[in-house]
Amino acid sequence: MKTPSSNATSSSRAPDDGARRRAIAIGSGVGGMAAAIRMRLQGYSVSVFESASMPGGKVGEHRHEGWRFDTGPSLFTLPELLDELFRDAGADPGQYYQYHRLDNICRYFFPDGKVLNAWSDPEKMAQEFEHVLAEPAANIHRYLHRAARIYELTRDIFLTASLHDLETWRRAPWIKTILGLPELDALSTMNNRNRRLFQQPNTVMLFNRYATYNGSNPYKAPATLNVIGHLEHNLGAYFLRGGMRNLIEAMHRLALEIGVEFEFDSPVERILVQGKKVEGVQLSARAPQALRPADVVISNMDVVPSYRKLLPGIAHPERLLSQPKSTSALIFYWSMKKSWPIFDLHNILFSSDYALEFHHLCELKTLQPDPTVYLYISSKAEPSDAPPGGENWFVMINVPHLNGQNWDELIARARERIITKLESQTGQEIRSHISAEKVLDPRGIAEMTSSHLGALYGNSSDNPMAAFLRHPNFSRSIRGLYFCGGSVHPGGGIPLCLLSARIAAEQAAKRQD
Ligand code: FAD
């Protein structure tokens, strides 16, 4: 990537109104970058300050000899939200990135030896469940229909608009939502609902898994989260050509083209507030001209340190900040010298005791002996991601957020268990085929992206009120201060981060700070 300052040019697509008002984004994760683009499109002069030396936050990349790894997200859903951002900026998304819909979304390996492909075609998938797991196809269709209905009922209030703005409630078809409340299933847990919907424990476990997409516990999270299955199975799972890092490269390029300016290695140390109005930011004392004035500041930093570190001395929304946090992840990036046809692009190898796994993760804050393993091999779709004959294995397990654990010990134990599990699945020795290894754990996630306790998605969604207990995309007490990214409304994951940026920018336009 070229040095950002040398690229900070305006183009014909930049607004020509003089860009008199100034906006600052703190952080260049997906949310921060999208918010910066949207504020620029509103005519602001926009600067992004990023503590790392490159943009992207959790959407990272690791290259080693001939192997390339996505270090964070691997599954791309709701690509139309990214396309919308580019189109709003007058750009043709196809000129910046390409993606295709996956035919097989994920290959599942169950403890009893069964292997199931979750085909993207719903009928084909339902038939697969019937043949492999003896789950009646009609149950799968019923689940998909229910999940689609939850999406329809929640989208306009809980996802695409500010939940905390009265206008949303005036505008949104909330009568439809209120009438549909029983269908939202908020008072049932995901596990209880799925046990009623399906006959086979393996099917229940498979659909319970969607709670982990926002770091929650299916044995506690409301069944409303079954909506996540709709995004993947009804709307589709996609592969971004060149890997997820291309998303960041594309957004960064667009931002530069429309005149957003970036300063890397520039951590923000304070958000400056005068009276009840934001005045700008203070950079690290290392930076020359450390005070940067602004009319609007949008923090893409996790909302907890945004308050605790950048806004000392003002009242904090303690109730929102102190909610239980989501789980985190432990990832091994293995450069494999061999390829394994048994695996697909996305693979899940389930634990023999899923309930026990979540008890350990969420209550005991540790790992159980047989964790569920997610194996992502992008070289299956992008052969240049590994040398010929090799593969790039992204091997991830869910782990608790930071809570005083001895991580070196947990990682060493987890590594052995994962290898044993993969070897028993493949029936082959794999250890000697790992030619290089890199590890990312909750300590690294916390350190690299300032995520509070290393949690991947901010608050967990383990209670029915969770959506109301995420921080809004604006400050209720400080004019000109906004928030975006995975720790605030509407939640974590790339699509929701893009939505958070859209909502924050809409709120800024409406409030005219
Ligand atoms: P973040 O990525 O959290 O970035 C915040 C940025 O702010 C960072 O660059 C940080 O350096 C910067 N910053 C922080 N403090 C300061 C400061 N004081 N001054 C300046 N800069 C600062 N999502 C999916 O959709 N699909 C997936 O498959 C998926 N898998 C995942 C797997 C892993 C291992 C991880 C870690 C995440 C995964 N996610 C997935 C979640 C997704 O990556 C995140 O929700 C999303 O990328 C978070 O974006 P964000 O806007 O919140 O910013």
Instruction: Quick: pLDDT tens for 202-232.
Output: 999 999 999 999 999 999 999 999 999 999 9
pLDDT of residue 166: 80
Res 463 pLDDT > 70? yes
Confidence of residue 139 (pLDDT cuts 50, 70, 90): very high
User: 511 near 43, Cβ under 8 Å?
Assistant: no
User: 490 near 224, Cβ under 8 Å?
Assistant: no
pLDDT of residue 3: 34
> Among 282-291, 432-441, 452-461, which is the least confidently predicted range?
282-291
Q: Tell me the CA–centroid distance for residue 72 and ligand 1, in Å.
A: 8
405-424 average pLDDT score: 97
Please state, in angstroms and as integers, the Cα–Cα distance from residue 58 to each residue in 42, 375, 380, following that order: 27, 18, 22
pLDDT of residue 6: 32
pLDDT of residue 96: 98
For ligand 1, say whether the CB of 268 is within 6 Å of any of its atoms. yes
Rounded to whole angstroms, how far apart are CA atoms 437 and 390?
Answer: 14
Confidence of residue 10 (pLDDT cuts 50, 70, 90): very low
For ligand 1, say whether the CB of 490 is within 6 Å of any of its atoms. no
Q: Tell me the CA–centroid distance for residue 104 and ligand 1, in Å.
A: 26
Q: Looking at the DSSP assignment, which residues form a beta bridge with residue 401?
A: none
For ligand 1, say whether the CB of 486 is within 6 Å of any of its atoms. yes
Res 137 pLDDT > 70? yes
Res 9 pLDDT > 80? no
Q: Tell me the CA–centroid distance for residue 33 and ligand 1, in Å.
A: 11
Q: What is the mean pLDDT of the chain?
A: 93
For ligand 1, say whether the CB of 331 is within 6 Å of any of its atoms. yes
For ligand 1, say whether the CB of 252 is within 6 Å of any of its atoms. no
- Greater confidence (365 vs 174) lies with 365
Token pair in block for residue 73: 């997200």
pLDDT in tens, 345-402: 999 999 999 999 999 999 999 999 999 999 999 999 999 999 999 999 999 999 999 9
Percent above pLDDT 70 for the chain: 95
Q: Tell me the CA–centroid distance for residue 364 and ligand 1, in Å.
A: 26
Rounded to whole angstroms, how far apart are CA atoms 113 and 354?
Answer: 16
For ligand 1, say whether the CB of 52 is within 6 Å of any of its atoms. yes
User: 114 near 205, Cβ under 8 Å?
Assistant: no
- The secondary structure of residue 385, as a DSSP letter, is G
